[in-house]
Structure 1
Amino acid sequence: MEARTGREKQVYKKGSIRQVAGCVPVNKTTKKILLITRRKKKGGWMLPKGGWENDESEQEAAIRETYEEAGARGKVTSLIGVWDHNVINKKTGLPKATFSFFEMEVEKLEEKWPEMDERDRQWFAYEDALKVLIKPFMREVVEKCSLAPSNKRSKKEFSESNINKNLKDTWNLKFSAIVVFFAFLIWYLIKDNKFISILT
């Protein structure tokens, strides 16, 4: 029931870029997204995320942080993408952090979780989640999740294009088979002089 604290095990790339992992927790039945408030329940909604540590995989870090901050458990279905922090380290000229977000299908919400006294959680419809998220890059993350209408359209278009392609390939195959059949038939008739006898 205790959340990990400290950065002793924190993973950094290029010596200074903190690696952060998080999830877009979704309910495929209700088509809603689970968001949390900032620490100490200060205003604004965000996605659960936190530091990736060196004794776990990036995906495991995302799952752990989603449980610690939102009390959500489920299965990760995909990596949505990676975003650089918009704040640049003046000394290195590199982003202060890199955020990797996964999509999680929530299977259970725990009644008690490590940061329940520090954060609230709430389900939001897709459009409402975009309105309340306080970080612009998190809106971009949500726009790439499976609940996004644009993703549904692209998947539908992809499916339809595959169907059309398969139909075209089937007709091409049938036409080729017919041509081969008649070519073989003509060759067979000519070979035994049957074609000439038919004509005469």
Structure 2
Amino acid sequence: MLRNNSYPTVARTGREKQVYEKGCIRQVAGCVPINRKTGKILLITRRKKEGGWVLPKGGWENDESERDAAARETYEEAGAKGRLTSFIGVWNHHSVDEKTGLPKANFLFFEMDVDNLEEIWPEMDERDRQWFAYEDALKALIKPFMREVVKKCSLAPSNIQNNKPGLSILKKIGENRKEISIWQFSIVIIILVIFIWYLTIKCNNGLDFPS
């Protein structure tokens, strides 16, 4: 993860250090920046085209890890700093290279818990940023695959439901009860086997059972 003093003062440009998979698939890293307390997602406007909200993302370069690339791009484009808490997944670019038949890019997305929004950041004059509630973020995002990314983040209703403490405890209790039942059943089987073995020995020795 990038240290606070290692964040760039200007956005990186060019693709001299760009990481490619299989020699032609550009690797792009980005984040779903969230505020866990408010349940909101930070989106930014596109730089090259007017209108429309997107997630911060950009090229992964060969002097950094994919996590560092995601954190750097999120800072450069949105001015957000925070902790990458999970890897959400990889999405292929919808466009395919005619020569190779492979997607032009892979998008690797992480979830970031935003700790701070800088007042001054590299692309502040090129983009706007805004917090959106989960459902509003889905409506605002102009790229379908980014909506799929957001649906996989921890603020998605299905994930929130699964992560509720009460439900987690009940799930663990259920799992523990299942383990106990299996253990008890195993003990009963072992006792029966020992008893049958004991009866067999008694019969073979022609001994009477005690009254």
Task: Give yes or no for TM over 0.5.
Answer: yes
Which residue type is aligned with residue 178 of structure 2?
A: K
- Contact 1:40 1:119 (C-alpha < 8 Å) held by counterparts: no
Aligned to 1:167: 177
Q: CA deviation at 1:69?
A: 0.1
CA deviations on 1:125-184 (whole Å, 9 max, x unpaired) are: 000000000000000000000000112234456653332120232355467668989x99
- The unaligned stretches of length 5 or more in structure 1 are 188-194
Shift, 1:13, TM fit:
1.0
2:147 & 2:172 partners in 1: Cα distance? 30
Given candidates 6, 26, 29, the residue that maps to 1:21 is: 29
Answer with 63-72 or 149-158: which moved more: 149-158
Query: Corresponding residue for 1:191?
Result: none
The counterpart of 1:75, out of the listed 75, 79, 83, is 83
Deviation at 1:11, TM superposition (A): 0.6
Instruction: With the length of structure 2 as denominator, give the TM-score of the two structures.
Output: 0.81
CA distance in structure 2 between the partners assigned to 1:160 and 1:51 by the alignment: 43
Q: What secondary structure does 2:85 align onto?
A: strand
Q: Distance in 2 between matches of 1:40 and 1:20?
A: 17
Task: Give me the TM-score of the superposition, normalised by structure 1.
Answer: 0.85
Say whether residues 1:146 and 2:154 are aligned partners.
yes
- Aligned-residue sequence identity (percent) comes to 68
Using the alignment, how far apart are the partners of 2:111 and 2:14 within structure 1? Answer: 26
Equivalences, count: 194
Of residues 146-155 and 110-119 in structure 1, the stretch that sits farther from structure 2 once superposed is 146-155
Structure 2: unaligned runs, 5 residues or longer: 1-8, 199-208
| 2:97 counterpart residue number | 89
Q: Separation in 1 of the partners of 2:19 and 2:190? A: 63
Residue in structure 2 matching 1:42, options 35, 47, 50: 50
Cα distance, 1:178–1:48 mapped onto 2, change above 3 Å: same
| Residue deviations 1:63-107 (CA, integer Å, cap 9, x gap) | 000000000000001110000000011121111100000000000
Q: Measured at CA, do residues 174 and 113 of structure 1 come closer, stay the same or move farther in structure 2, by a change above 3 Å?
A: same
Corresponding residue number in structure 1 for 2:134: 126
Question: Is contact 1:41–1:118 with CA below 8 Å preserved after alignment?
Answer: no
Q: Partners of 1:169 and 1:13 in 2: how far apart?
A: 44
RMSD (CA atoms): 2.7
Alpha-carbon shift at residue 9 of structure 1 (Å): 0.5
CA distance in 2, matches of 1:116, 1:52: 21
Aligned-partner residue type, residue 168 of structure 1: K
C-alpha contact 1:53 1:61 (8 A) present in aligned 2 = yes
